[in-house]
Amino acid sequence: MKQRILIVGSGFAGMWAAVSAARLAWVNQNDTLEITVLSPQPELRVRPRFYEDNVASLVAPLQPLFDELNVNYLEGYAERIDEKEKIVWYRNSLQEITHVDYDRLILASGSHTQRANVHGINEFTFDIDQLASAQVLEKHLQSLPQQPESEARNTVVVCGGGFTGIELATELPARLRQIFGDDTKTKVIVVERGSVIGGRYSEALRDTIREASDSLGIEWMLNSEVESITQHGVTLKDGTDIASSTVIWTAGVRASSLGEQLHAERDAQGRFIVDENLQIAGQQDIFATGDMAHARTDDAGNVALMTCQHAIQLGKFAGHNAAASLLGIAPLPYRQVNYVTCLDLGGWGAVYTEGWEQEVKLVREEAKKLKIAITNELIYPPKADREVAFAAADPLAKFV
Ligand SMILES: Cc1cc2nc3c(=O)[nH]c(=O)nc-3n(C[C@H](O)[C@H](O)[C@H](O)COP(=O)(O)OP(=O)(O)OC[C@H]3O[C@@H](n4cnc5c(N)ncnc54)[C@H](O)[C@@H]3O)c2cc1C
């Protein structure tokens, strides 16, 4: 009888976990593994690009790749994990509850924006966290010219000045120009709790973000917290009102709630604490990966971030190690010493840094070319070709 690996999620981590597990079986000429991916759609949704327009195009089909590698695909949404019986209960495409068994389970169900406890946040804010919500925002932005001319119509407020907020805010001037034309004066405001722009980043990166923001005319409201949001705009805790028809929430991210039902240690963002093989502590048959895993990247104490860069490598190691544990092969401890950031800064260009100290290496057009190469090529699924996919899925192959 075949031994079953079940992977929940077909994002960056889940997709690479499947390819990597299939690779290890192939390398060992072993056909006893049955690898199955369970997710709502057989596609990879390219979340890092959701600040762009034409968001519907930012998906990559996975069925041809899975067919080529003999990976089974199950369309559905996991709802419950029975770790004793080794069963995942899920809702299938007909909305029926059914189940699938496993010998090894890999949790790769990602993350979502965690909206703060702010009055009006659910009714009156947009986000770019998932494809559907980014599409809602895109439709809304396109409908703005039909509203009567007003300060609120022409002002977009981005709540949160982290990477997502910065990439979105710096992209918006060009998107708004496309929508309104050159003659309408629009405003983009970032509301940020911190006292400096990009306060969590290196000084060199902060300076670059500030320069780009100034050049694009983006206003930062620092030391500012949102008190409430209505259809007319935002009120800050100090009583300031900002008139806006478009308030976009980008602050805070939390691991998928699917993990909440397992009795295991999790970090402040809801990620499972995993060992170096990406197994969840106390859960012998369950691995966590991508945005679901709190994993050490090196011996210096750095921890993987909730980024696609980490999710891709975490996926490859999780798939490899789940398969290794069934094939009687020694696992590979997860290591990802290199860390880079490449931040899009809209019409100004981009910035590329290396290392955890975020040393700025490239800016403007040069960094932008690299950013486009990363987000439009490097992070996409491999070609549906066994040799190409397996070469890329080797956890020890150079990634960045
Ligand atoms: C706007 C934005 C910009 C970003 N920019 C960058 C960037 O510039 N650089 C970078 O490195 N990272 C960036 N990120 C972060 C990056 O997108 C995530 O870290 C990455 O997507 C995590 O990959 P993942 O596979 O863990 O999860 P995801 O990509 O979220 O995939 C999760 C998968 O699980 C599925 N799923 C969820 N729940 C269930 C369930 N219950 N049952 C079955 N399937 C389920 C989903 O449908 C999906 O297939 C950005 C994210 C956003 C939202």
> What is the predicted pLDDT for the residue at 398?
77
Express each pLDDT in 84-115 by its tens digit.
Answer: 999 999 999 999 999 999 999 999 999 999 98
Terminal Cα distance for the chain, rounded: 39
User: With bands split at pLDDT 50, 70 and 90, how would you rate the model's confidence at 159?
Assistant: very high
Residue nearest to atom 19 of ligand 1 (CA): 307
The minimum-distance atom of ligand 1 relative to the CA of 41 is 47
Express each pLDDT in 176-223 by its tens digit.
Answer: 999 999 999 999 999 999 999 999 999 999 999 999 999 999 999 999
The minimum-distance atom of ligand 1 relative to the CA of 292 is 26
> What is the predicted pLDDT for the residue at 1?
83
The minimum-distance atom of ligand 1 relative to the CA of 77 is 42
Q: Is residue 78 in contact with ligand 1, taking CB distance under 6 Å?
A: yes
Mean per-residue pLDDT for 290-319? Answer: 97
Q: What is the mean pLDDT of the chain?
A: 97
Contacts of 176 (CB under 8 A, 6+ apart): 141, 156, 184, 186, 188
Q: Is residue 186 in contact with ligand 1, taking CB distance under 6 Å?
A: no
Express each pLDDT in 226-260 by its tens digit.
Answer: 999 999 999 999 999 999 999 999 999 999 999 99
